[in-house]
Amino acid sequence: MAVRTTTAFERRGLSDEQLRQLFRNMLLQRQLDNRGFQLNRQGKVPFALGSEGHEALQAGAAMAFERGKDLLAPYYRDLGLCLGVGLTPYEIMLSIFAREADHNGGRQFPNHYSSKATGILSFSSVLAAHIPHAVGAAYAIQYRNESGRAVLCTNGDGTTSEGEWHESLNFAAVHKLPIVFLVENNLWAISTPIEKQMAQPEIWKRAVGYGMPGKRFNGFDPVETYACVKEALERARSGGGPTLLEGMCYRFLAHSTDDNDMTYRTKDEVTEHRKSDPVPRFEAKLVEAGIMSEADVAAMKKDVLRETNEATDRAEAMPFPKAEDLYTHVYEGAWQPWQ
């Protein structure tokens, strides 16, 4: 289908097809999120963590990512990003169900997606620990003169307080590495509001200190996100060095199924932010711009549900890791009890 110009919103070069794809990623993300929480309520999985509120940001950023070229160093809230760069709902579900076929073999918490084939680095639950890894990967790319490639590295607002975040940005700037640091600022770090995390809440302003460009954008807008991340990634891919991006969003849900956010923030606050919920908002925009009809939307939602159901059923039917799997991949080769 040819690209049409619409007046409804800036499409930043995205085709209708791409805009629909963005929206589909957002829908799928929310559906999979819900599924995790449902499964937890049903007692089928002990833990789930959602990224509601991050859908636009993640869908937009993922669209700027070049599959087969770029690398992604995500954090646990990046279900949508990981989907967007190529992970399948089935792979997501394998992680949620901790099945043997999961990339991590059911070893890690859910939401700790990694996949070498997809270019997603492995990370742990220790916040900020993945950021130097992303920088090291960017160094490898630069060292091998693989121009046209870059690393997209994400973390939450709270994680910027860690020393490793600082060290990593500084090193990347010194070496002008092909990397984009994308902070998903949802205003909360579990129960800690941004103002207890930092005195000056505009994280992008730290870029000046490191000597790299910095930019804040509206992470509720997938198209704006796409454009900002794409610009930064292209700079990185073409030798222009790193960028610090700050996407503004909000965490609509509690931190995880282990958390009750009503102990530390008000329902009113959440409701207020819900008014800008990026999913219905983008839906309305697409419909208004004539890029999707109401029927298209309904069909897409149905299809997303179907895909989620299939992924759920398929993953659930898979076997757990075997007890003996505890002993593999400690070192290369077979495990020795005394190692």
Ligand X SMILES: Cc1ncc(C[n+]2csc(CCOP(=O)(O)OP(=O)(O)O)c2C)c(N)n1
Please say which residue, 42 or 263, places its beta carbon nearer to another protein. 263
For position 179 contacting ligand X by CB under 6 A, the verdict is no
Q: Which residues are catalytic?
A: 251, 255, 264
The whole-angstrom separation of Cα 82 and Cα 72 is: 8
For position 163 contacting a second copy by CB under 8 A, the verdict is yes
User: Residues 229 to 258: which contact a second copy by CB under 8 A?
Assistant: none
The whole-angstrom separation of Cα 218 and Cα 188 is: 16
For position 195 contacting ligand X by CB under 6 A, the verdict is no
Binding part of the chain for ligand X, among 16-24, 91-99, 156-164, 274-282 by CB under 6 A, reads 156-164
- Chain mean position to CA 37: 18
Interface residue with another protein, options 66, 86, 90, 129 (CB under 8 A): 129
Closest separation in Å from C-beta 224 to another protein: 27
249 CB contacts (<8 Å, ≥6 apart)?
53, 54, 56, 57, 184, 185, 186, 219, 220, 278
Task: Output the CA–CA distances (angstroms, integers) from residue 316 to 78, 95, 284, in the order listed.
Answer: 22, 10, 34
Amino acid making up residue 282: F
Please say which residue, 53 or 241, places its beta carbon nearer to Mg ion. 53
Please say which residue, 106 or 158, places its beta carbon nearer to Mg ion. 158
The whole-angstrom separation of Cα 123 and Cα 204 is: 24
The whole-angstrom separation of Cα 246 and Cα 255 is: 20
Interface residue with a second copy, options 123, 210, 226, 282 (CB under 8 A): 210
Residue 323 binds what, of a second copy, another protein, Mg ion, none (CB under 5 to 8 Å, by partner type)? Answer: another protein
Interface residue with ligand X, options 2, 126, 317, 323 (CB under 6 A): 126
